[in-house]
Structure 1
């Protein structure tokens, strides 16, 4: 619904209010403990810069202009709403121009902003208790949420969620906090050290959004068919690639052109997520004494999943695909580094043409052969 109608179809303030009202409370901590966690996360974020640069060979000695913000769940919601507003603005403007003459547009407009605000708020409330950290690539600066100059983004660390998971896993909290910061700092390094990456990713996303159906009734019909296909599927946590019942609602409402763009986006996101996982584990043994225990328990937590409802929501929203991106991307990075070394792997950042395709993510040797032009 957020992609139907004009800008007034999304009540952004209501989305924030809904999410902050519905989000689960964080773990109980004293005020002194909360302050200590925030201070430690800031220290780890700073120290992670040098660890990541040294391990990857990326970046410079210059200080990143992207701020590090340690936030609670409500702060994460506010930051992401601002990001959505920025990224979706061209699409919503396009919908606004089309809606006046579109069948059903008046009805959708009447329901509009409140409905979409609540829907978006419900989605954000679900995600706000699960995200440990996030590099906001397209974050606009606001009074309460600074961002880097010239679209430099910002790095968010969600303190309540980090504390919750470290307690759930029963791991050393200081090691776990540094381990998380290494992952998120890798994302910050990716975008600050590779100047063209942000514009490339934004272009792909805008291309995807530009292919969105502008006829509200057509979109509603596609959503209805997708929902029915999902409802008749097994609903298992594992993907059934042979049937629509195993695909997410997001995947099912795409046009053919959007599927092509999504294939490229999936490859890029797999690379970015897998690279961050590879770096956090590669740096870990030298600076995180209990990294092996943390990784093992974290993998078990991912595999175990949560409640049945949580599994269904993850499937519906396509979050299972993100978990596969971590796994497949890390396997790609590891295989390439073993074959051609870190310097050879870093050719991936040369230009959009050296990014791996979705097929190459699954078969790293094909990327090595193409980019390094191996005779064999």
Structure 2
């Protein structure tokens, strides 16, 4: 696989839609080393054990009833690309139903941009809880990108088994959230569909994307809070090193992150964590978990920076007396 092959896949992008998804997959994988996925049976079982332990401890700490997805995959980078191309294809299908004034040029540009984004992220993503948005299934999926987990543990100078377990706890925390809030996947799908449909009509519906960003900030922030409560070991150094990793990188890497909007992901972690730390300090984990009781209990964009305003609103809605 070479960059030349990647460029050739983009240049040969075909079809009638705005994006040639087969070319996206081919180009992204051509530009990315798949990484080593030669695991022993014991190493594969260690991932499974971490997931089982995370489920048990998160249930115990949070009191939330949930299960992990039936699909739990240990992937290389190419596997991750294929899984996410499938999601992108579903989400952005409305764009493929629109004609372009310069269909060939636009298709190649869209294909190249999407392939480049997926190739970049595939080299950095560690794990992913995939709610399989807009898929014709009620199941979700859980992925671990093994070469990246190994590489990150090495670069951060952390023992691989401990780091792998930390990542497992983080991703299983998302299973807890989606299990506690059966409405959450539908809520995210509604915002995605509204935003993409508007794009297909040549409009930018900022409100839909803003609501999606706010919801994901709540998802990531609560996950940070809950995994710190449930993880069975020291984690301060892991948290510090991962925070530094999210902020770090070469100037070129940071430029690409900004271009792809990945700084928003870091903001979701940091802003969401600060929100839930304040809520939990006043009302405990049970108070923070109220966010999953109803879609109306998601914080607004303004409330993320004013958690006591959220507490007052949720308390009033529930007819409770503030402490």
Q: Is the contact between residue 42 and residue 70 of structure 1 (CA under 8 Å) also seen in structure 2?
A: no
Comparing 116-125 with 271-280, greater Cα deviation is found at: 116-125
Q: Distance in 2 between matches of 1:375 and 1:292?
A: 32
Instruction: Tell whether 2:222 aligns with 1:275.
Output: yes
Structure 2 counterpart of 1:166: 153
SS where residue 65 of structure 2 aligns? coil
What residue in structure 2 maps to residue 198 of structure 1? 185
1:140-178 superposed Cα distances (whole Å, 9 cap, x missing partner): 77xxxxxxx833221111111111110011112111111
SS at match of 1:134: strand
Using the size of structure 1 for normalisation, the TM-score is: 0.75
Offset of 1:210 from its aligned partner? 2.0
SS at match of 1:45: helix
The answer on whether the counterparts of 2:69 and 2:175 sit within 8 Å (CA) in structure 1 is: no
Determine the structure 2 residue equivalent to 1:13: 22
Kindly report the root-mean-square deviation, in angstroms, between the aligned alpha carbons of the 2 structures.
2.4
Structure 1: gaps (5+ residues) = 1-5, 100-104, 142-148, 216-253
| CA-to-aligned-CA distance 1:321-343 (integer Å, 9 cap, x gap) | 11011011011111111111222
State the partner residue of 2:60.
Answer: 54
- In the TM superposition, 1:1-376 aligns within 5 A as 8-24=17-33, 26=35, 31=38, 36-60=42-66, 63-93=67-97, 95=98, 99=99, 105-107=100-102, 109-138=103-132, 150-212=137-199, 214-215=201-202, 255=204, 258-284=205-231, 287-288=232-233, 290-303=234-247, 305-373=248-316
- TM (normalized to structure 2)? 0.87
Partner of 1:242: none
Q: Is the 8 A contact 1:9 1:116 kept in 2?
A: yes
CA contact (8 A) 1:83 1:139 kept: yes
Structure 1 259/9 Cα, relative in aligned 2: closer, same or farther at 3 Å?
closer
Q: SS where residue 9 of structure 1 aligns?
A: coil
Q: Distance in 1 between matches of 2:121 and 2:21?
A: 17
CA distance in 2, matches of 1:311, 1:24: 21
Distance between the aligned counterparts of 2:269 and 2:291, measured in 1? 17
Q: Distance in 2 between matches of 1:34 and 1:25?
A: 18
Any unmatched runs of 5+ in structure 2? 1-14
Cα deviation for residue 112 of structure 1 reads 4.8
Distance 2:101 2:171 in 1: 43
3-state secondary structure, aligned to 2:74 = strand
Question: What is the rounded CA distance, in whole Å, between the counterparts of 1:297 and 1:153 in structure 2?
Answer: 29
Change (3 A) 1:140 1:126: same
- Give the secondary-structure state (helix, strand or coil) at the position aligned to 2:185: helix
Equivalent pair of 2:221/2:269 in contact (CA under 8 Å): yes
